[in-house]
Structure 1
Amino acid sequence: VYQAEFLLVCLGTFLIGGYQASAMYYRYTALEAVRDDQKGRAAALVVGGGVLAALIAPEIASYTRNMVAIPFAGSYLALAGLATIAALIMLMLRDGGVPAKTRTGGAVMLELLRRPRLRGAIAISAAGHGIMILVMTATPLAMKFCGFDVDTAANIIRWHIIGMFLPAFVAGPMIDRFGARLMAVVGALALVFSVVFAVSGISFSAFLISSFLLGIGWNLMLLAGTTLLGEGHDASERGHAQSLMELGNSITGTVASLVAGALIAGAGWNIINFGVLPVLLVAIFLMWAGGRKPVTQGV
């Protein structure tokens, strides 16, 4: 930005994307640092940190935007500073160790996907993530078509973000107490009620409540899927399993963001929301089908 070189800005943004992708692994790092009965709370606290980010990030961006002579160059410097702080914190964490790998490559990935437990965990996480991205991206467009201004849509998205991260502080203990599968169902029900409110009308309150519930559903399904993932693999397969879950989240999120605009223009707001329901049913079925299997090595 300081050099006014567009290609360098694109390259820098590409690297920021890699940084953000690696940040999704922070919750796995937390799982390696605690006992089995604390895993839900550990993952939840990491995700819950998004509340702090939602509160301070706009202020940091506003304060640093004109910190140097070139507008927004200071914001990128602030981002570099925050990433440095994150790296220092990572160095202070207990090392979970690198497990001995007996096998590597795509064959391991295919074998993992054949396991019902792991497949169900990935389905729950990917479904919740894809649905959230799809509806969240479509919401401001739908509000514009309904006559709301940009500031009103921004306020709705703000409450959606609060719904995404604030429940993590209670979702973690609930997962540890009642089990990840039950909490995944609760998350799916939150998304069902989000659909109910979304199609109930075009009022401000309908958009607000549906967006807030959308965030809650995403939170519960992501945390439940992350916790369930550990049941479907051993330590030597940990990296492959985590990569599969993140790949599933990335694919569904990317597809959802790409099709949201076309769907809202071609099919409409109600069709988008009703389309959420069969995806939820398939994800819940895969999760419960895998959960009925006895817990044995490689299942």
Structure 2
Amino acid sequence: MKHWLRFPRNVWVLAGTLSLVMTSIPLMVLISGLLGAKLAANPALATLPLACTIVGTALTTLPAASLVRRRGRRFAGFTGIACSAIGALLGLAATEFSSFISLLSGAAFMGAAMAFFQQFRFAAIESLSDPADAGPAVSMIMLSGIVSAIVGPEFGAWGRHWSGLAQYSGSFLILLLAIVLAAIVFMGFRNPEQLQTQDKGTGRPLSEIVRQPVFLIALASAAIGYAVMSFLMTSTPISMHSHYGHSLHEAKWVIQSHLMAMFLPSLFAGFLLQRLGVITLMLSGCVLYFAVLIIALSGHAVMHYWWALVLLGVGWNFLFLAGTTLLPKAYSGAERFKAQAVNDFSVFSLQAAASLCAGWVLVSFGWQVQVLATLVPVVLLLLISVWALLNRQRLV
């Protein structure tokens, strides 16, 4: 808590903005598959809207980083907010006109916005006067997701049936209002200044930066953690509601719990990071992922889904926080934009691929096969974590 009290204004503005704009993701997690199943010609395409969100993020990571470098983080942040608003409007059009293409387009714009919002964690680090506060600051940024985790699915439920509007049209209208409020909050952000003197020159070649063990370990922690989480989360509402007959309310509860579990650990993850170290936190995330597999394979009751998705969220938090905190050790100030761009492009491309496959795997092979398919990447990440633990003196 003492670290949070000395955070600069930028960190609080970024956290407040994210708590509003990130509601689009839990909203889409809950209703996009249900809307997709209703609007798509083939049920196997039901998860395609959420996959488009992630693909939009992956394809926009490099342009977003380039825009940050050329125009600054403030301009890029407002660009992301504009993309999010366009996505909400297209989602509204999709519901009103029963257009699957509009739903896919809106999802892609929301995903593109996320590429800009993912840059906020680096903006928070750059706004600090003490580099030792990087872990707690990233935790603070991630903690803002608690608000979106609670409110986002509620948008889906509140706006599901509004008189005079198509199903879920009200959800996108509420989302649009949240985005407008986010734009007002973000007006308080100012571009960080202390790193501008470090931006001269180009630094080392990108090939040299990405070959470093510290870069590869940071990338593996975030990328594999994100891909496994997305692969299972994307299919959960469909598996629960459409395949095993659980109610939409129960599916919403599981998704809300999962999303809260993704961000609530940030209350203490920064403390754990400083006490245990980044590699130990990464290893803890791997252990939690193994627990997810055991529980998910044990049955199809609501509580099986609930426990699996909650532990999946906590594991993701540890892995993503570890990767984000470790990454700056791989680059200098002059190298940060290209290193961050490659990292985010790789992370969200792998996540996009996992999300694209999720619906097809679930429809074709079932939930248990989908869970078993994550065993290989989880084992790989565990081996990387053990190697990093044995060699951590050279990394951190």
| Shorter-chain TM-score range | 0.7 to 0.9
Aligned equivalents of 1:229 and 1:235: distance in 2? 12
The 5 A counterparts of 1:170-185 are 170-185=268-283
Determine the structure 1 residue equivalent to 2:123. 29
Moved more, 119-128 or 238-247: 238-247
| Structure 2 partner of 1:227 | 325
Tell me: CA distance 1:270–1:113, structure 2 relative to 1, closer, same or farther (3 Å): same
Aligned partner letter, 1:187 = G
Q: Is the 8 A contact 1:122 1:244 kept in 2?
A: no
Per the alignment, do residues 202 and 232 of structure 1 end up closer, same or farther by CA in structure 2, a change over 3 Å counting?
Answer: same
Instruction: Provide TM-score, normalisation by structure 1.
Output: 0.84
Q: Which residue of 2 aligns with 1:135?
A: 232
Shift of 1:94: 4.4
Residue pair 2:239, 2:367 contacting (<8 A) in 1 also: yes
1:237-266 CA-partner distances (Å, limit 9, x unpaired): 111121122112211211111100111122
Distance 1:274 1:9, change over 3 A: closer
| SS of residue matched to 2:245 | coil
**Offset of residue 79 of structure 1:** 3.9
Question: Alignment partner for residue 146 of structure 2, among 12, 28, 51?
Answer: 51
In 2 relative to 1, CA 59–213 (structure 1 residues): closer, same or farther, beyond 3 Å?
Answer: closer
Q: 2:264 aligns with which of 166, 172, 186?
A: 166
The answer (yes or no) to whether the contact 1:118–1:232 under 8 Å persists in 2 is yes
Q: 1:87 aligns with which of 163, 186, 199?
A: 186
Q: Is the 8 A contact 2:295 2:307 kept in 1?
A: yes
Aligned to 2:362: 264
Instruction: Write the distance in 1 (CA, Å) between the matches of 2:315 and 2:254.
Output: 16
Deviations 1:73-116 (A, max 9, x none): 7436414413313421322x643433324338xx9333222111
- Secondary structure of 1:90's counterpart equals coil
Q: Distance in 2 between matches of 1:257 and 1:9?
A: 16
Cα offset, 1:187, TM superposition: 0.9
Q: 1:151 & 1:139 partners in 2: Cα distance? A: 13
Question: What is the identity, as a one-letter code, of the residue corresponding to 1:75?
Answer: I
Instruction: Give the counterpart letter for 1:134 in structure 2.
Output: F
The more displaced of 230-239 and 44-53 is 230-239
1:78 is matched with which residue: 177, 180, 184?
177
RMSD between superposed Cα atoms in Å: 3.2
Q: Which runs of 5+ in 1 are unaligned?
A: none
2:244 to 146, 151, 167: 146
Once the two structures are superposed, the pairs formed by residues 235-274 of structure 1 within 5 Å of their partners are: 235-274=333-372
Q: In the aligned structure 1, how far is the partner of 2:214 from the partner of 2:346?
A: 15
* Shift in Å, 1:208: 0.8
Letter in 2 for 1:27: R
Q: Equivalent residue for 2:374?
A: 276
Are residues 136 and 57 of structure 1, via their aligned partners in 2, closer, same or farther at CA, if it must alter by over 3 Å? closer
Counterparts in 2 of 1:210 and 1:293: CA distance versus 1, 3 Å: closer
Residues 251/25 of structure 1: CA separation in 2 closer, same or farther (3 Å cut): same
- The worse-fitting range, judged by mean Cα deviation, of 117-126 and 270-279 is 270-279
- Per the normalisation by structure 2, the TM-score is 0.65
Q: 1:267 is matched by which residue type in structure 2? A: F
Structure-1 separation of matches of 2:380 and 2:154: 41
SS in 2 for 1:164: helix
Q: CA deviation at 1:289?
A: 4.1
Which residue does 2:205 correspond to in 1?
108
Describe how 1:2-17 pairs up with structure 2 within 5 A.
14-17=108-111
The residue type paired with residue 323 of structure 2 is G
Higher RCO (C-alpha 8 Å, min separation 6)? 1
Paired with 1:74 and 1:42, the residues of 2 have a C-alpha distance of 32
Summarize deviations over 1:185-215 as a string: whole Å, max 9, x none.
1111111101110001112211110010011
Within the alignment, does 1:211 sit opposite 2:309 as a pair?
yes
CA distance in 1 between partners of 2:102 and 2:378 (Å): 41
For residues 7-57 of structure 1, give each alpha carbon's deviation from its aligned partner in whole angstroms, at most 9, with x where no partner exists: 999877654433221111111122223323322111011001000222344
- For residues 28 and 211 of structure 1, the distance between their equivalents in structure 2, rounded to whole angstroms, comes to 27
Shift of 1:268: 2.5
Gaps of 5+ in 2: 1-88
Letter in 1 for 2:236: T
Contact 2:279 2:392 in 1 (8 A): no
Aligned length: 294
